[in-house]
Amino acid sequence: MKHACRSRREALLGVEFLLDEDGSFYFLEVNTRLQVEHPVTEAVTGLDLVREQLRVAEGLALGFGQTDLGRKGHAIEVRLYAEDPTRDFLPATGRILTWDISDEPRVRFDSGVEAGSDVSPYFDPMLAKVTSHAPTRTEAALRLAKALERLRLHGTTTNRDFLIAVLRSEAFLAGDTSTDF
């Protein structure tokens, strides 16, 4: 669970807790920067967190108050990597020969690659963060799986098929997973 704190002088803070089955909260960390998962928060709240961060940096107040916050639907984000799941997720290199994102289903692709991009051993092999949003968790997972399936991507080994299999697995769809899944 993440909570947003507001202040005129500080950027949005990510305060992370674990929620135990008995309802107890356990503090994990405070992040004073925008988290890489911020598209999930943006999808379910309708807020543009980057815009808000820039407003605060300019000395302006946040454009919303606590009572304006709410959640709508479910969002899921995956990280598409140039890596080989059959080789213990070792990074893969190569040139991206085809990179064609389908218009349907509509999901958010945050990426800096395109056809012709080289994936070298010198940088993080993440190709994209892909986020889906839907009324239910199952719909969000299946929409994300379909978007990944429709992505035309050739030239390097990726974890795409692994992600699709996870998103469509019965255990994941039922929420019957933990970090050892």
Residues with Cβ within 8 Å of 18's Cβ and at least 6 positions away in sequence, in order, are 25, 26, 28
- Active centre residues (catalytic): 33
User: How far from the centroid of its chain's Cα atoms is residue 130's Cα?
Assistant: 6
Residues with Cβ within 8 Å of 64's Cβ and at least 6 positions away in sequence, in order, are 47, 52
Q: Which pair of structure tokens corresponds to residue 175?
A: 């929420």
How far is residue 80's CA from residue 129's CA, in Å, rounded to a whole number? 6
The residue behind tokens 């949005």 is 12
